[in-house]
Homo-oligomer: A and B are copies of this chain.
Amino acid sequence: MTRRPRAVVVVTGSELVRGERTDRNGPFLAGEALRYGLEPARITIVGDAPAELEAALREALKADACLVSGGLGPTHDDRTVELLARAAGMELVVDEALEREIESISRAVAERLRRPYADFAPGVTKQARRPVSAVSIGLAGTAPGLVFRAPTGCVVVVLPGPPGELRRLWPNAVASEPMRELLDGTRPPGRRVLRLFGVSESAVARALEGAGGDGEGVEATICAREFEIHVDLMVEPGAEARAEALDLALAERLEQWLFARDERRVEELVLSLAAARGLRLATAESCTGGMVAARLTDVPGSSASFLGGIVAYADDVKRTELGVPDELLAEHGAVSAEAAAAMAEGARERLGADVAVAVTGIAGPGGGTPEKPVGLVYLHVAGPDGSLRRVLDLPGEREQIRMRATVTALHLLRALLLGSHDEAVQRPRLA
């Protein structure tokens, strides 16, 4: 087992280190580092105070790769490049070609804003400065991404803070000379993924133990994510047979909950199943208030199978828009298996859909009773081949109850589209 090159991610932003915004760049860069065969050792989030930022960069330069995001703007408190050069002991030079490139963009901006170019000139020169051996990997607005090798041997990648821009420039960093040299010496680990629904994290941990456990070049991570359990097997070169055996033993033990072998979200799986069978989908939501529809329509091209939905928050809307009978609501209440079934059938009929999913429950914090407590949720999926129903008794707060009800609704849709009639297959168990 060879040691993988160590990567450190440094993210800078005052609003990030103060907890006012959640960083997305650190997890992205760490995940990419892993994928290319580096070992993400640390993510450091730091503000723009020069001493703090320089100290973080100085430590990061001890790694084999240092991936930095943010602090590339034109103003005086954007100090990443200057402090990197100082921490690495490298000279800072103005790149004249880069300066001309940034100038032409800034002139266009000045013209559009009807402001004198002189306002922009100092920022242009500032943004064209780079450590002496660094090369630009492209501009994000007027900020260049940079790659260079520090005197410590560390390969340094500098990327802009806005997540979209960072992701756009990242492939250029990977393709750069210093990164290619670093990655040439590594073999990315293999990876196997098992995704499970309806089983607890601790039951999966016991199954892993029973299957022989990890080790010997295979590292297993069990991770609860959005009411699903993801098992990741990271496989070092040479341990493929061991990984295959562990994977098979695990899959056998967890067969009834295993639903995917890749990273596609459950709404994508639902939409491909529906498209493959030519079935049109609809939703009828009470306590999830549109979240199931929102997740389905988050997928590009969802209009091929998804027709629409009714958010029936008030009982009147359940009656008028979904045709749930007055007597049913009076007898069983709006949070009941009967109401969920009527809502699903109503959505199919009103929207002309083949398959509809309905959710009704008590998300809290108010509205619970001893008979119908907060966390009680009824789900119903109806389609041409039959129906599936589920009742959940969810712990947690409003946000979590709604999220878990949404995920379960999507899994129930998936199960029905797969033609499952075995209700046990889809019964969620809590940790």
Contacts and interface: CB of A to CB of B under 8 A. Distances in A.
Contact of A20 (B221, B364, B365, B366): B221
11 contacts: A15-B221, A18-B30, A19-B29, A42-B44, A42-B46, A43-B46, A289-B302, A290-B309, A300-B364, A307-B316, A308-B311
B21 A225 contact: yes
Interface stretch (A100-108, A250-258, A323-331, A391-399): A391-399
Interface in A1-51: 14-24, 26-32, 34, 40-47, 49
Interface stretch (A82-90, A291-299, A420-428): A291-299
A80 to B, nearest CB: 15
A407 to B, nearest CB: 14
A310 B300 contact: no
Given A21-B225, A283-B311, 6 more contacts: A15-B223, A287-B297, A289-B296, A289-B306, A298-B398, A310-B321
A316 B352 CA distance: 9
A350 interface: yes
Interface of A: 14-24, 26-32, 34, 40-47, 49, 52, 56, 59, 164, 221, 223, 225, 230, 232, 283, 285, 287-294, 296-298, 300-303, 306-314, 316-317, 320-321, 350-352, 364-367, 396-400, 402
B297 A311 contact: yes
Copies of this protein in the assembly total 2
A223 B20 CA distance: 9
A266 to B, nearest CB: 16
Contact of A40 (B18, B21, B43, B294): B18
A17 B46 contact: no
A213 to B, nearest CB: 12
A228 to B, nearest CB: 12
